[in-house]
């Protein structure tokens, strides 16, 4: 029998592809076990817990946290093959007496609307990750079930948990504090006054990438801070108490009339105006202002003027000039918004409509 080293590759997981071509992420045995130990130092779980996991195993959240964490820590686990069965999953949670559940904002919002108020009666922890938790989802879970969703943050490259809110360390709107034994640095970004681009290091940072352009060759994580550091590509602010506030992906900022605008923040405005809708904001080229914002939404009555009226005090530069009504926002199997797909939809719609800079809907 060949002896395994903790640094040997344990699994290759692929990034979600929410912003471009998926990349193969090579995680070692040490990366995965370290992330488990980091979580265990912050959140109390035990063999009496019952985990309900409906997240796909090809996704790092569904694999490391949803699958390996309960299996390697002696917890009972119930696997369900699809997160899209919004009426079924709350019933399963009730039937098995689930105490721990992991999900994305999209899925958690959908379950809350379908569930009976008692379906999650036994739940100790509901942890949200992979995308921004909307205020409307947070409030709905608290009002209907009395459950405080713990929002976390991570990436496939960090195996995946970088930070998480816990019952002891909790701040609404943040994604919690860094995992133990992780270091961070914020790289200044032009146009961003508070915060910067997050680089992290620690025992849970991947071995490297397998890229379609260079198959079979392991490419170590790259960062301006050298070996062992990973550039997350996220613009974040870390407050005085160590809580992380995500401002958006560096790729999810648009430069309009020389100012940096967070597309994630604009999506949140739409979420506040129409809490029951699903929204995505994309940036497209604009001959006059550099880039322009387009809101894709499944809310039939949405218009730029209605959004402006629902967002008093928000500068016009932070509001989309065009709104595209769609039946469904493109989403990936992981529950994340498919931004390349949404951008393509919006570009085709603009070209077909031959729109100008007016308030089109």
| Res. 347 pLDDT band, cuts 50 70 90 | confident
Weakest-pLDDT range from 166-170, 207-211, 261-265: 261-265
Weakest-pLDDT range from 52-56, 112-116, 128-132, 302-306: 128-132
Write down the pLDDT at residue 340.
Answer: 80
| Res. 288 pLDDT band, cuts 50 70 90 | confident
Topology at the third CATH level for domain 257-353: GMP Synthetase; Chain A, domain 3 (3.30.300)
| Res. 257 pLDDT band, cuts 50 70 90 | low
Instruction: Assess if CATH 3.40.50.12780 describes domain 9-250.
Output: yes
Average pLDDT, the chain: 87
Asked if 174 and 152 count as a contact pair (C-beta separation under 8 A), the reply is no
CB proximity list for 129: less than 8 A, separation 6 or greater: 61, 102, 104, 151, 152, 153, 154, 160, 161, 164
Alpha helices by DSSP H, listed for the chain, are: 29-42, 60, 69-72, 88-96, 105-114, 135-145, 263-273, 304-310, 339-353
User: Cis omega before residue 361 (within 30°)?
Assistant: no
Burial 295-333 (b: 16+ CB within 10 A, else e): bbbbbeebbbeebbeebeeeeeebbbbbbbebeebbbbb
CA distance 36 to 65: 8
Asked if 277 and 327 count as a contact pair (C-beta separation under 8 A), the reply is no
Averaged pLDDT, 277-305: 85
CB proximity list for 58: less than 8 A, separation 6 or greater: 13, 14, 333
Within the chain, all domains assigned CATH 3.30.300.30 are found at 257-353
Within the chain, all domains assigned CATH 3.40.50.12780 are found at 9-250
Q: What is the pTM of this model?
A: 0.75
Unique residue bearing structure tokens 């395994």: 4
């Amino acid at each position: 029998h060949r002896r395994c080293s903790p640094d040997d590759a344990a699994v290759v997981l692929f990034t979600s592809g929410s912003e471009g071509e998926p990349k193969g992420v090579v995680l070692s045995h040490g990366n995965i076990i370290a992330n488990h130990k980091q979580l265990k130092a912050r959140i109390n779980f035990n063999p009496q817990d019952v985990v309900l996991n409906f997240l796909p195993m090809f996704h790092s959240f569904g694999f490391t946290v949803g699958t390996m964490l309960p299996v390697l820590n002696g917890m009972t686990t119930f696997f369900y093959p699809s997160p899209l069965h919004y009426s079924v999953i709350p019933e399963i949670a009730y039937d098995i007496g689930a105490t721990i559940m992991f999900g994305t904002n999209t899925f958690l919002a959908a379950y809350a609307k379908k569930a009976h108020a008692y379906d999650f009666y036994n739940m100790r922890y509901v942890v949200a990750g992979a995308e921004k938790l909307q205020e409307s989802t947070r409030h709905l879970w608290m009002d209907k079930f009395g459950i405080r969703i713990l929002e976390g943050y991570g990436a496939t490259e960090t195996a995946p948990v970088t930070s998480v809110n816990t019952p002891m360390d909790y701040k609404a709107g943040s994604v919690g504090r860094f995992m133990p034994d992780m270091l961070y640095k914020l790289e200044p970004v032009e146009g961003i006054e508070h915060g910067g681009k997050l680089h992290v290091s620690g025992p849970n940072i991947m071995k490297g990438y397998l890229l379609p352009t260079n198959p079979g060759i392991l490419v170590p994580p790259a960062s301006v801070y050298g070996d062992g550091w990973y550039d997350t590509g996220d613009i974040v602010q870390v407050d005085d108490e160590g809580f992380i506030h995500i401002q958006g992906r560096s790729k999810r900022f648009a430069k309009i009339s020389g100012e940096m605008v967070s597309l994630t923040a604009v999506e949140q405005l739409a979420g506040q105006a129409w809490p029951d809708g699903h929204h995505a904001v994309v940036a497209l080229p604009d001959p006059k202002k550099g880039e322009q914002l387009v809101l894709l939404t499944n809310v039939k009555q949405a218009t730029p003027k209605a959004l402006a009226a629902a967002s008093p005090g928000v500068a016009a530069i932070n509001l989309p000039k065009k709104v595209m009504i769609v039946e469904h926002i493109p989403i990936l199997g992981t529950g994340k918004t498919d931004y390349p797909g949404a951008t393509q939809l919006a570009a085709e719609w603009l070209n077909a409509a031959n729109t100008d800079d007016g308030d089109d809907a």
